[in-house]
Homo-oligomer: A and B are copies of this chain.
Amino acid sequence: MDRIKVGIVGGTGYTGVELLRLLARHPHAQLVAITSRKEAGMPVADMFPSLRGHTDVRFTTPDAAPLADCDVVFFATPHGVAMQQARDLLAADVRVIDLAADFRLRDTATFAHWYGMPHACPDLLAQAAYGLPELNRDAIRAARLVANPGCYPTTIQIGFAPLLRAGGLVDTGHLIAACASGVSGAGRKAELGLLFAEASDNFKAYGVTGHRHGPEIDQELRRIAGLADDDTTLRCLFTPHLAPMIRGMHSTLYARLTAAGQQADLQALYETAYRGETFVDVLPAGSAPDTRSVRGANVLRVAVHKPAPDTAMILVVQDNLTKGAAGQAVQNMNLLFDLPETAGLEIPALLP
C-alpha cells in the first residue's frame, strides 16, 4: 500500500513536534511537507534535535508547500488559521484535521466570543466531525474535515460519558471538573508565566473567570447526554490548574448521583462502556491513575469511585500532547483512511 502523504501547517509548537514524533514511525503515512513562514528552509531536525536521524524534511513557506497534493493536512497552528485554508484544501480533495479550535464549536457566536474573531467559514462547520473517536467514530470515518478536540474536553467527555449516556443517573446541572495540566499544554510560547523559574515548584488555578474549553465541554457533554445544543440544564463547572510537569493531564470529576445512580454498578458501567477500546483503559476498582503512566502514550486511564453514597468521582489521566492532541489527530487520520485505528500509536508510556 502506498503511504498516505501528510502535510503539516505550523509545526513549530509542541503539538507539531509531537505529530512529527508519531508520524516518524507511522507505518502507513509519510510526511511530505511542513510549513512555517518564519522558519522556511530550516531542517525540522535543527529546531527539534530529538528528530535528528528520523526526518530530513525542511520547513517551507506555505506557498511553496505542495499541500494540495497531500492526502491529509494537519493544522498545528494557532486558532484561526485552519478556517482560512480549509476550504481550498477540501476542494482539492485533501482531508483536513485541525488541532486548533476552529471547527470545535458549532455556534459561531460562541466561537467569536471566546476566540476573539468571527468565524471565516460557518458553512463548513456542519461538515466537521468532532474528532473524539471513542465517542464519535462513525462520524469521523465519514468526514473529510475533523475538529480535533481540546485536551481538557477529551478527558472530561471520556470521564462523564458512561454516566451521561445511561441517562438519569446524575444531576447534570452541577457537574464539576477539577483538572491539572502540565505546562506544555500552554504551548511553545515565550511568556513569563511559562518560564521554568515561574512554573516550577508551583501550583495554581488559572482561567478562573472563564476558559475557552468551557463551552466546548458543555456543548459535547450535552450531545453525549442527548440534549439539545441550547439546553442549559446541563452544566459542567470546569477549573483548570497548572502543575509543574512537562506533560500530563489529570481530571478529577464529580457528579451528584440520583437515586437511580446510587443503585448503579459504576465500575461495571465503565468497563462495559469502554470494552474493546484500545485507548481507554478502565482501571480496577479502587485505583488512582498517575499521569506518568500515559507519558507519550495515546491512552486515557480512568478510575471510578463513589466517595459518598450520592457522589460519583471519576479520575482520568492522559498525556495532553498525545491523546490530548497529536496522538488523537493521528488516530483520526487512521479512521479517515480506513487504516487500523491503532497504527503508529501502540507505544508504551515512557516510565520513569
Contact = CB atoms under 8 A, between A and B. Distances in A.
Contacts of A278: 53
A252 B178 contact: yes
A281 B350 contact: no
A188 interface: yes
B195 A239 contact: no
A346 B25 contact: yes
Contact of A301 (B49, B201, B252, B288): B49
A174 B256 contact: yes
A206 to B, nearest CB: 6
A125 interface: no
Given A49-B293, A195-B188, A200-B196, A237 B208 contact: no
A24 interface: yes
Given A195-B188, A195-B196, A351-B17, A203 B250 contact: yes
A90 interface: no
A202 B24 contact: no
Interface string A62-93: 00000000000000000000000000000000
A213 to B, nearest CB: 14
A51 interface: yes
A204 B291 contact: yes
**Number of copies of this protein chain within its complex:** 4
A140 interface: no
Contact of A204 (B20, B196, B250, B296): B250
Contact of A305 (B199, B208, B288, B351): B208
A183 interface: yes
A50 B293 contact: yes
Interface residues of A, number: 88
A80 to B, nearest CB: 22
Given A195-B190, A197-B194, A206 B49 contact: no
Contact of A25 (B53, B198, B303, B348): B348
Interface string A309-352: 01101010100010000000000000000000000001111111
Given A49-B290, A180-B243, A250 B205 contact: yes
Contact of A237 (B190, B200, B292, B307): B307
A198 B50 contact: no
Contacts of A51: 348
Contact of A176 (B52, B254, B346): B254
Given A50-B295, A178-B178, A184-B352, A248 B202 contact: yes
Contacts of A315: 205, 208
A314 to B, nearest CB: 11
27 contacts: A21-B350, A25-B347, A49-B293, A50-B349, A50-B351, A51-B348, A52-B293, A184-B352, A189-B195, A190-B190, A200-B201, A201-B246, A201-B292, A202-B291, A204-B250, A204-B290, A204-B291, A206-B288, A208-B286, A208-B287, A208-B288, A208-B303, A208-B307, A237-B308, A237-B311, A241-B250, A243-B243
Please give me the 4 A-B residue pairs with the lowest Cβ-Cβ distance, nearest first: A204-B290, A50-B349, A50-B351, A178-B178
